[in-house]
Amino acid sequence: MVGIIKFLKGYVRIRVWGYSPERFMNLCGNHDILLWNIVNHGDYYTMCVSIKGFFSLKNCLKKTGTRLRIEKRYGLPFLLPMVRKRKIFAIGFAGCFLFLCFMSRFIWAIDIEGNLTVTDDVFLDFLEQNGIQAGMRRDAVVSPTLEEKIRERFDIITWTSVQLDGTRLVIQVKENEHPGEVQKEEQEGEAGRNLLADADGVIVKMITRTGVPLKKPGDEVKRGELLVQGQVPILNEDGTIRRYEYCEADADIFIQYRYPVREKLPSTYIAKEYTGRLKKQPFFRTMKKEYRLPQGKAYSYCDMVTEERQIRLFGNLYLPLIVGKTTYREYLPTELSYSSREAGELLKGRLAKLVLTLEEKGVQIIQKDVKIVTNTKYYILKGNFTVISQAVVSVPIEKDQTGIMPEESKP
Amino acid sequence: MIVDSLKLPKDIMLGASIVTMTGRTEAWVENYKGIIEYSTEMILLQGKNCQICFSGKRLSIDYYTNEDMKISGCIECVRYI
């Protein structure tokens, strides 16, 4: 802080020599002239003094018979006259400042955080439709309205926050982690739901919580067959049906069935043999237009890697300029074939991945029965898994079934 | 002594110099009249009643006003003459 004040006020470093420099310092002290960084160099002393103090030194010098020379000038008062001589520089500096002030009134970057299901592209398209895009004025963004629109458009988003951070528009969203709950709410208007089999197999275990079970463990079922009915009959004393109550059928039904597995691997593949030659092509892009430096003759086969970044100042002041480079790596395509061992390992890897995916879904694999078949073009892994899982689907009861039993059936 | 009994500040009443030292590298001096001699090996100050001599190596004065001053460097000895 002291340094900043000194810089703003300005000071000089002086060289003092002569009959009695010590007396000169004492006199300065007596005249309330602050001296600092006093260094003895043998024949002479150097010290710093403020500009105001410097102009009061004349008497002290005369009295003590010392002489003085300015070694260096520091601070803003010395910079200003220098700037006066460099008018273009001053205009440029002021222009740059004004340009920054002007540009900081617009939004130059949009960041979306927290979206997992809704992709950035979908989000940006939606924002563009609502007039939110890079290059718009900052004050045109009405955060509460935009937040509401986002929640209305994307049902899965439960919370939004729209903030302006410099020239960056930060949209934070939180998606519903339990979409099933929303679905349940939607189902409330329905009359009831049945549970149907989703695979051909045998029921291994069945626990019914709500609804009328129509099958029992050990029964064979076909895909689409009704397992638990959501339409519960209310009986009269004589055993006739009085009416139906509707509920959402709920049960844990484990069905053992065959899960077909088929993986296909072409026997040949294109391998890239890199020649080691590469070209770099810098480019810069403004809002819509992209400018690339000429790159010469393009390679017939090449990998293209593009890196880009948006220019920003002071951490969060994004400018509408994206710079980057594209690297082209030349390769020669060579057609190679898999050996039966390689193909076997690759297919086994895919199989392991499939097993892992099924296990993650809660499918219990009882038996694996797969083999690899080779023909001229492909290696094919095919067979069946015997699995146990809750292969059931919940479907709403159709409306024509939901009528109350006719009056005459009543006692 | 009247200064003690009235609890008056001694530095003002007796004109005693105050030397505050931080380790052996820094010293602040108040109540002095001026510098008598200044070199990198020795700084001799004139107090109101006596002279104070700082001797050492690479001695320099960081700032100097009518009220106080700061000496820095490797101080080996402080003597009252």
Low-confidence ranges of chain A (pLDDT < 70): 178-190, 314-316, 399-411
Query: Which residue among B37, B40, B65 sits closest to A29, beta carbon to beta carbon?
Result: B65
CA A92/CA A103 separation, integer angstroms = 16
A179, HSE (Cβ side, Cα atoms, 13 Å): 8
- For the CA atoms of B14, B15, B20, B21, the dihedral, rounded to the nearest 10 degrees, stands at -100
User: Is 0.85 exceeded by the ipTM?
Assistant: no
Closest by Cβ to A32, choosing from B39, B40, B66: B66
Give residue A223's Cα distance to chain centre: 41
Contacts of B39 in chain A (CB under 8 A): 40
Contact partners, residue A130, CB within 8 Å, separation at least 6: A146, A149
Asked if residues B11 and B18 have their Cβ atoms less than 8 Å apart, the reply is yes
Which of B20, B16, B15, B18 has the alpha carbon at shortest distance from B75? Answer: B20
3-state helix, strand, coil in chain A (%, to 5): 30, 45, 25
Domain coordinates in residue numbering, chain B? 16-80
A–B interface: beta-carbon pairs under 8 A: 49
CB contact under 8 A, B60 and A38: yes
| Smallest CA–CA distance from B39 into chain A, residue | A40
pLDDT of res. A241: 84
Query: What is the pTM for the complete model shown?
Result: 0.42
A202 within 8 A of A256, measured Cβ to Cβ? yes
On chain A, the residues whose CB falls within 8 A of the CB of B37 are: 22
Tokens of A241: 């049906």
CB contact under 8 A, B38 and A45: yes
Q: Residue A70's pLDDT is what?
A: 92
Residue B56's pLDDT is: 93
Instruction: Assign domain B16-80 to its CATH architecture.
Output: Sandwich (2.60)
Q: H or E segment at A372? A: strand A364-374
Q: What is the band of B52 on the pLDDT scale with cuts at 50, 70, 90? A: very high
Per the structure block, which two tokens stand in for A344? 């076997």
The predicted pLDDT at position A178 comes to 66
Q: Are A274 and A331 in contact (CB under 8 A)?
A: yes
Task: Inform me whether the C-beta atom of residue B34 falls under 8 Å from chain A C-beta atoms.
Answer: yes
Min CA distance, B41 vs chain A (Å)? 10
Tokens of A270: 């294109």
How far apart are the C-alpha atoms of A387 and A366, rounded to whole Å?
5
CB A97 within 8 A of CB A317: no
Whole-number Å distance between alpha carbons of A67 and A57: 10
How close A49 comes to chain B (CA, Å)?
10
| Nearest CA-CA partner of A152 in A136, A169, A120, A129 | A129
Which residues of A lie inside 8 Å of B (Cβ-Cβ)? 21-23, 25-26, 28-30, 32, 34-40, 45
Contact A38 B38 (CB under 8 A): yes
Query: What does the pLDDT look like over A321-361, one tens digit per residue?
Result: 889 998 999 999 888 888 888 888 888 898 899 889 888 88
How far is A348 from A357, CA to CA, in rounded Å? 14
CA distance B36 to chain A (A): 6
Q: Output the 3-class SS for A185-196.
A: HHHCCCCCEEEE
- Closest by Cα among A354, A395, A40 to A196: A395
Question: Whole-angstrom Cα distance, residue B54 to residue B42?
Answer: 6
DSSP state of A409: G
A37 vs chain B: nearest CA distance in angstroms? 4
| Residue corresponding to tokens 């770099």 | A280
3 state DSSP class of A355: helix
Q: What is the DSSP letter of B4?
A: H
Question: Looking at domain A2-80, which of 3.30.300.160, 3.30.70.340, 3.40.640.10, 3.40.50.261 is its CATH number?
Answer: 3.30.70.340
How is chain A split into domains, by residue range? Answer: 2-80, 191-259+393-399, 269-337
Closest CA to A260 of A106, A369, A164: A369
Which chain B residues contact residue A30 at CB under 8 A? 34, 66
Per-residue pLDDT of B4-50, as tens digits, reads 777 777 777 777 889 999 999 999 999 888 888 888 899 999 988 88
